[in-house]
Every structure is written in C-alpha cells, then in structure tokens.
Chains A and B, each alone.
Chain A
Amino acid sequence: MRRFWCVRALRLLAAALGGCFMLTLPLAPLQAAPQTFNTALPVARGDFVFREQFMLVKSSDDPSSADRDVTAWAVVSALGYGVNSDFALFGVLPYVNKQLKVTAGGMRFTRQAAGVGDLKLFGRYTIFKNNAPGKSLRIAPFAGIKIPTGEHHARDALGRLPAGVQPGSGSWDAFGGVVTTYQTLNYQIDTQASYQVNTAASGFEFGDVARLDASLQYRLWPRVLSGGVPGFLYGLIEANFSHQNKNRSGGVRDPNSGGTTLLLSPGLQYVTKRWILETTVQVPLVQNLNGSALKNDYVLRAGLRINI
C-alpha cells in the first residue's frame, strides 16, 4: 500500500514538475568587482587578486500551484592574475548548494544538490586608459569560456534533478563583453555589457543571456582626505539588467523560462590597500519573466578581496 502511494506521488510529482525541470535558478557566477560584475581596474604585472564571495539566492514567488520555493547559496572563489599591466586572466569557481521545494499531489517535496559548479576562465585586455592625478578611465573588453566542471546528472529518489537544480550545466559556453571604469578619489563608476552563448548538454540548453550592469561607488568615509592611504568606506548602488532567452529541452523552447529582469543593488564596501570587505543585497525592480518562470525575491552577497 505504501509503495502504491509512493509510485502515485512520483507520477503526480513528475506531472507537476513539468515546468520545474526547466527551472533556471538565478545563480550566475560573478566575475570580479564591483560586487556583481567585472571592473576595468588593473591587476599589476605578476600579482594576484583573490576574491571570495558568499551568495544567498531566494526565489519563492511562484504563480503556479506547485508553489516552488528555491533557496540556493554559493561560495564563489575568483582569482585574477596580471600577465602584464593591461592583460589579466581570471578564473571563477563556485561551490553551490541548491534546494527546491515544490508541492505536488498535496505533498511537499524537497529536491537538493550541492557541489562544485562550472568553472569560468576569461581574459581581460585594457584597450584604453587615461590616467590623471587622482583619477583613471579604462575600457577593457573581456572574453572567456565556461567549462562544465560541475555535475549535471545529479539524482535523488525522484529521479534526475531539474537542470536548474544541478550544480553544473554540462555545457561548454562562451561569453564576452566590455567593461568601463571611471575612478576618482571621491567616486567610481563601472559599466559592463556582456553576452553569454549557451550550448546544449544532455538535450538541454539554457537560453543565451545578455546583461547590462552599472555601478556607482561613493566615498562616505573619510569625508576629507588629508594624507597617507586611509581605508575608504564606499556606499554603492548597482543596477543589473539581464535578458535571458528561453531554454530548450529536446530542441523545444520552454515557454516557462527566460525573460527580463532589472535588479537594484545597494551595498557597502570597505577598501584598504590589502583587502576589501563588501556586502550588497539585490532586489528586483522589474521581472518580466515568461510563463511561470520563477521570480527572484532577493540575492544577498558578502565577500572579501585580497591583494596578493
């Protein structure tokens, strides 16, 4: 009898999770600074910059009866190396833990996966720089690949986990863009435009992602600079626009995936010569998602950067 109910529950779940298998978790790996994207600031020749960032992603606003609830966290390690003063190489490797709760057949199920995610490697080359006393303007294109180092066949008692819950995508993807940084002693402005081309793996393909990011950091303390190199406390505000195409499964577009989002991210950053402490919370301003694609509640980030 018990087995009968288990089998029935699994069938109901499989039907209810039709959209969930296409679920795209909003856990895009970060690349460097300011907080949610890259920067054009230099990495000195032969030097390293290490960054560790903790992310907590919460998504629970499900319009469907499945009442999906996603909690995911990640520890993202990024290492930058200055090949020379203009060219830097970066590697970004996340460790992710994703948990999906879903209601099916009147029962609540939890599906979860954890492990190393996909590795991103990219290079950034400064094609323009204009240095002046206390200020700098830099423009740097970047390009790289995402290597499928994360598991994408993770299973639980209910079968193979949805693609969005897998630690990795299984696909080799390419991305590129351009980042601009204008920095003065009082404030810093960063902008980035980027595009990621996703490919298929195991019959599933995440939609391509276009992003536009902008960040303003303003020095709150010390209000007046006198001499030496004091630590700077920055208040920051970032805007993160992204558009993702629909995912494809077996060559068919998933109508409940992809869409357009605009996140606003206020935060704080304390900067010294050797290290940076930073935290921000991303809250959605606009979420025009397709079908029943799951919306973001918030993304919390806290991190540390170290000059090596």
Chain B
Amino acid sequence: MTEKNIMAYTRRKALFSATLAAAMMPLMAGAQTSKESDDRATRYVLGIDGMACPFCAFGVEKKLNALDGVSKLDTNILAGTVFVTMEPGKTLSEKDARLAVEEAGFDLRDFKEDSGAS
C-alpha cells in the first residue's frame, strides 16, 4: 500500500467517523434532553381566592399535599398564591388542583405552570 493510498484511506475513515458522529449527535442530544426533563421538577402557581388568615392556609395546603406527586408547597398569603412543586416526572392537572382548593372551602383563581422553575 502506497503512502497516497494510506492517506486516502485515513481521510475516508475520518470522514466516515465524522459523518457517523454527526448522524448520532441529535439522537444523543435528544436522549440527554429527555433525561434532564425527568430530573426537573415541574412547578405550578395557584392563585387562590378567600385565603385570608394563616389558619385558613392550613386547609388548602393539607388538601394540596394529599395530591399524588406533590413534593413541596410554598404559600404566599399576601399574594394569595401557592407554588406547588411536583416530584420529578409528575404533573398536576388544573382539575385536581381546583377540586383540592374547593374542598378546603376556597376558590381557584389562576392555574399555570411556573416557567421560572428549575
């Protein structure tokens, strides 16, 4: 095998490897994105009407805590909001949130996924 042939073979091998890597990159990246998604906890912001004292907040928190997948609650009584952090891979439906809030005797004003969640 001449030096010229060796160089051509090496170029083809490098080109094949690069092509293969380029082809695999999106798949690997996609797998990585999916794994990060599983590890990220989804957070929701619930606006609650009628919650005007600490003793009332307990009932709301107790009902929300009983929902499947809820891992943490942060209540702001001044804003009338409860931030609901879910366990990784779990989600909260507006229907379940509304039912929990109403069982505590209050009304669900807003329901949205918190885009600032990490």
Contacts and interface: CB of A to CB of B under 8 A. Distances in A.
Interface size class of A (residues with CB under 8 A): 35 or more
A42 B58 CA distance: 11
Contacts of B57: 229, 273
Contacts of A82: 105
Contact of B58 (A129, A133, A231, A274): A274
Interface in A4-52: 41-47
Interface string A131-170: 1111110000000000000000000000000000000000
Contact of A273 (B58, B74, B104): B58
A136 to B, nearest CB: 4
Interface in B3-19: none
A244 B70 CA distance: 53
B102 A85 contact: yes
A229 B105 contact: no
A230 interface: yes
Given A42-B105, A85-B102, A133 B80 contact: yes
Nearest to A182: B52
Specify the main secondary structure of chain B where it touches its partner. Answer: mixed
Contacts of B62: 44, 47, 307
B103 interface: yes
Contacts of A126: 105
A129 B50 CA distance: 9
Given A42-B104, A133-B47, A225 B77 contact: yes
Interface string A207-234: 0000000000000000001111111100
B41 interface: no
A43 B62 CA distance: 12
A85 B103 contact: yes
A116 interface: no
B55 A227 contact: no
Contact of A271 (B49, B53, B60, B79): B53
Interface string B97-114: 000001111110100000
Contacts of A288: none
11 contacts: A41-B55, A42-B59, A44-B104, A85-B105, A131-B107, A134-B52, A134-B80, A183-B52, A185-B77, A228-B75, A271-B55
Interface of A: 41-47, 82, 84-86, 126, 129, 131-136, 183-185, 188, 225-232, 271-274, 276, 305, 307
* Shortest beta-carbon contacts, A-B, top 10: A42-B105, A131-B50, A44-B59, A131-B49, A136-B50, A45-B103, A85-B105, A273-B58, A225-B78, A44-B104
Given A271-B55, A307-B59, 10 more contacts: A41-B55, A42-B56, A42-B59, A42-B105, A129-B50, A133-B47, A134-B77, A225-B78, A229-B75, A305-B55
